[in-house]
Every structure is written in C-alpha cells, then in structure tokens.
Structure 1
Amino acid sequence: MAGVLACSAAQAEVVSQTAAGFDIEQRLSLKAEPAKVYDALTDIGRWWNPQHSYSGEAARLHLDARAGGCFCETLADGGSVQHATVIFADRPKLLRLAGALGPLQTMGVSAVLDWALQPTADGTALLMHYRVGGYASTPFEVLAPAVDAVLDEQMQRLKSYVETGKP
C-alpha cells in the first residue's frame, strides 16, 4: 500500500465507470502528521464547502468518527440530514463511511468513502476512494466527473485547512 499512497502533488481521477457505478480515487500529500490530518477530517464543518450542503452552512456539518457514527447536518428549521454512516474508524490510519452524497442520496445507489492515511517523510499521504454502485436516474458517466470535481474541491479545502488553518 505504501506505493499506492506515495504522492508529491494532488491527483484526482475517475478510476473506472460502468453502467453499474463508478470508482473515484484522489491522492494528496499534506505537510502534517497523520493524527492532525485525521482530526481535521473529522472536523468536517471547518473545511467542507458550504455550497455542497443542504443548509448552506458548513458549521452545521458534523462527523462522529466511531463505528455507527454519523456524518450529519442539522437544518435551520430543526431538521437533519444523514450524509453517511461511519463503518470503520482507526485513528490516524483509516476512516471509512457508507453513504451516497449529495444528489446521489435521491437515487438507488450505495457508496463507500475511504480516507486512508500513511506517514511520509514530509507529513501524510492521503488516499481518498469513493465507490458508487446501483441504479441512478442520471447515467454514471455523467455523474462520475461531477462527483470527482466536487470531491477534488473538498480535498483541496481539507489540504488548505490542515496546512494553513483556513479552507
């Protein structure tokens, strides 16, 4: 896995897509220890772009990093959204969530999001993997690049938050 995680710059790509789903992989090199990066991941309301939330306010996003924990959002009227459920949490190595993000939530799809962290000489290599499969009302070949772009933006905001304190 060391070779898979080794990276010097941000890389994002749709690894595969079929009529049944798609697989996105993004790699980042961060100038911080894995524990700091993991903690930043779980402080999701500080770096997630609020334009990609239902409330329009990133501060309403919360991630409880334990098995069964929720990546949730509170709404102004007292409502809430469950974006994903934590299914594996091993600080500072791996955080795995199950959930169809954004508009995928309205479709008949299942999805798994992994963030795998590995220490490097300069800090942390972070590999994000998002796998989506099932039935979608919009073709996956249309969805995959759009989802990749949104997740790439989020990863860049995470990197900025980790390294500068600001998304």
Structure 2
Amino acid sequence: MAVPPFKYQDPFPIGKDQTEYYLLTKEHVSVGSYEGKDMLNVAPEGLTLLANTAMRDVAFMLRPAHQKQVAAILDDPEASENDKYVALTMLRNAEISAKGVLPFCQDTGTATVFAKKGNQVWTDGSDEEALSLGIYKTYTEENLRYSQTIPLDMYAEKNSGTNLPAQIDIMAGH
C-alpha cells in the first residue's frame, strides 16, 4: 500500500471572519519589543476578564447574524408551521435572555475554551488558571445552573458547585 504524501491540515482553519466584535477593555494589555518584533503582553487579569465576559455573552446572547438566520425561517416559504413556531420561540427566548437574568439555555454544560496563542503573545502566569477564574466568576455571579460533576471515587460523583473544572485547550499559533 502506497503511503500518501504528507499534507498539513490546520485543525482550526480560519475563513473570512464576519463576526461583529466589540472592545472589551484597553486595560491589561500592552505592546513591548523583543529582538525587534512587537510583542503583545496580556496580564492574567485580562484573560480572567475575557473569559468572564465571553462565558456571560455565550450564556445570555446570540450573535446578530445568528438571530437573522433564525428570523429568516419566519419568511421562508419552505418552512413548516412547526419550523416557524420553533424559530419564533427561539427569538422570544433570545429577547428574554439578552436582559441578562435568565440564560438562553438552562443546561449550561461544560465550560469549554479552545484558543490559539500566537508566538508573539506573552502572558504571565498560568493562562488556564486565569481563564478558569473568569469562568468561575461567571458561574458564581450569574444566574447559571451548575451542571459539572466531578468524581469522588470509581463509582461516585458530585456536582462541583462552580461548573469547574473547565475544559481549556490552548494551541500554539502564529
């Protein structure tokens, strides 16, 4: 059997990004220089704030582009009455959750962070710990259900009471 030639496949290929972003803060970041290259320095507090805000946004908000796609179902001639009912219910739920009291979905699941960290980004300390703290703050300060269980032994488990531990995977990027 012939071995195919090596071909690298980026696990997270980045296509055209049409996401509408907003500035979270200008604090906790600075630009320095090392061997003639600009380096982005991010303080642990910046990662904590980012994770806290991101988890809150995920729990309470839908992106405008996603809401437009759901709303388009209401005018789709091929959509069934059930399709339209579900779409309208989702939009009403999104309106309620955007007020920041009741989350869009009550079963919040495992908090998951997948990140790429470029070689010109410096952080001080444990990125995973700083991100976990932000997630902890979201789950303990907002009206979110704790649904993460942790093992006590081979057969018993209990709810963590904080929705930690989070799954945090940080890949080296460029």
- TM-score by structure 1 length? 0.24
